[in-house]
Structure 1
Amino acid sequence: MANQNRAGLMDEIRCDEKDYLIWKWRPANNVRRENAIRWGSSLRVREGSVAVFICRRKGQDAIQEFIEGPFDEALNTSNLPIIASFVAAAYGGGTPFQAEVYFINLAKVVQSRFAVRYFDVFDQRFPDFGVPVAVRGTLTFQIADYREFIELHRLDEFTLEDFQSQVRDAVSRRVKSLVANMPSKLGIPLLQLAGRTDDLSELANNDLSPQLRKVFGIELSSLDIAAIDVDEESDGYTRLMAVTRDVTEATVRAQTEANIKNIHDMQRVQMENLQERLRIEREEGQYRVHKQTQTANFPAYQVEAQTTVGVAGAEALGHMGENGAAGIGLGGGGNGGMDMAGIAAGMAIGGSVGRNIAGAMDNMMGNTPAGISGSPVPPPISRQDRFHVAVNGAATGPFDLITLSSMVASKSLAPESLVWQEGMANWMPAKTVPAIAALFNNGSTPPPIPVD
């Protein structure tokens, strides 16, 4: 510090301290009162600092004046208006006036280490075991708003050491509370606290920044947690480790068993699904082959069915005389007479059977026996023409006209069904293709009966 006396009368008010946060100026002449400033004294304020003049009057609020650096001029009423309130008729050129002068270093960044001594922290899962935990870290701050800072502190009683101690105590109390709540807040075991210094630093910065600004008037630049120390020699740590190990082993074992069961269940379900899928595919394949065979041989199935009907009729005719169903009786229905009604019924059945058999044979051999009248038989269908049929958007076939005729009879081929044959440009409705259109009206339906 260098306070010089200009011409033995005037003061040069300045701060030459290299490392300070707040520093109070005092006159070089210790004979005078401490806060006496002579008229015409000069003031020098470095950049990044501010000079604060505080004039106190008995029974009145203190008057404050702020001069921000850089500044290097003689004091007068134009640059220090509070002087005007002290100027009076009795105030001479060298007469001093009372004012406290403080220099505040706005660029000063204060770094202070703090420590939280061992205290018990509890795991939320095992509240009976307290484990001692300690915290070490460093906080960095500076004065953000000097006007706000002055309102919060009496500068004449201010010392940086006391101020830092107050800030450290406040930080330590809050960090202790944060650490105690970290296991439940972060959802982590207590034994993992030692590796969560970054999480604690983030929590502390977010929590303490507004509090330090409000209570102390400082801006927290950073709060870095260097270490979270867990006392591994304590009884609480040993007991917690033991119970945690048991729980972990039981959890791992249960999880392994559950995983194995899940794997077995999945394999069983997959095998059952595979078997069921194969069964369905096998049955569908067999059904598909059966239907294809049935469709390709539909005329043979027709002949077989008609033959069965004829055989049944013939057997019925052969048994007409059994059990008195149509006995011979000449005496108007007596046991010894001829039953004419039974004979007529037998003849009718025989004729029907004969026509069925004749029709079946005619379909197979393409020849109608003379003297037997049956249903009109459509002309032979060529197997040369083969067509594809669209079924559910997919092409099936090709099918010959005999198969297509069977499909018409079984209603699986409709007039609107799309068909295609080699040489056709596009798919066409079946009813528009002459070779197939005839299958939908083959003369099997008799014309309307004329009305007299």
Structure 2
Amino acid sequence: MSLEQIIKYEGDNSTFVWKHPIEDFNTGSQLIVHESQEAIFFMNGQALDLFGPGRYTLETQNIPLIGKALNIPTGGITPFHCEVYFVNKTEQMSIRWGTDSKVQYVEPTYQFPLSIGANGDMSLAVEDARKLLLKLVGTETSLSQDGLVRFFRGFLMTRVKTYIAQIMKSNSISIFEIDSQLEQFSDELKTRLGKDFSEYGISLKQFFVTTIAKPDGEPQYERFKELFFKQYADVAEAKIKQQVGIIEQETESRKMVIEAQGIAEKRKTEGYTYQQERGFDVAEKVAENEGAGNFSSAGIGLGMMAGVGGAVGSAVGGVFGNSIDSMTAPNSTQSNSQTQYCDKCGTLLTPGALFCDSCGASVPENNVCTNCGFKFIRPGKYCPKCGQQRGQ
């Protein structure tokens, strides 16, 4: 046996605790601890020192030359027992877990009893090496992932099933919506289970619920599942119809706005207003009147159209001019040049009158435009030649 020995970790990353096979090594032996590891030195059954990453010289009571004499009473076995345990502190992921039986609870939405299972994976890391070694490992030579899961399996199954039922009840999570709540489920279980692992020096880094085993095939569950999805489909269809109606309404509104803008642009281009356009409509209705063939209706139509103004009055006045002339002229051969109209109200004037017998306005001589001299032959408010307002 060499005087000094090298004590270092020779396990793998799936191991949490590994005991070095060399025991009762000599004083002056070298201890090498890697990063993400810790080493605990035991002397005569007691955990004396905890070493972090680095290289250390171990001081023991085992001195080879003297030890031979000291070992005679014990049959060659040293009375000074020493050993080293290495603890892997890396975060070990994808450690599988699963419930060993179904969780029984009452579905909160439809109030029927059912049973479900759950499984997933978790990530663990050693938080307190001394606590883990003393409470779980004891005199074992190693602690692997499978071994750790076996240690925790009893309380893990009990806690997980209890917490699942409590979370689903307190949050009123429907069995038909549980898949959308897996993240919330995982976070709450991690929070509740963290304290249980911490008591043994283990830190629960991550806890994921990846699958909820539903009671597919059970008649009661299938009946309520069909009811739920039918109700969901009806609500979804109603929302779609509502959205379609809103879109159609918005489309019709935009169409009306575009049409109104087009009409306004047309009026602007052609040079008439909304009131004038309404006047054209009135004139058209009067012209289509069944009584327009008799003289009384023609007189009423003329009175209505005289107030339309501008281009409408001029256009409509010509339609009825001949009919009125035939009513008031002394004979059918009377010339249009003898016919005069009031510049103010457009009423047909009595031949030779100096004032309008309708509005009382004075009649200008020869009924001509005072600006350009154009002789008016129809009623109106503006001169059709120069555009000046009549009567000024």
Taking structure 1 as the reference length, what is the TM-score of the superposition?
0.44
Taking structure 2 as the reference length, what is the TM-score of the superposition?
0.50
Bigger CA radius of gyration? 1
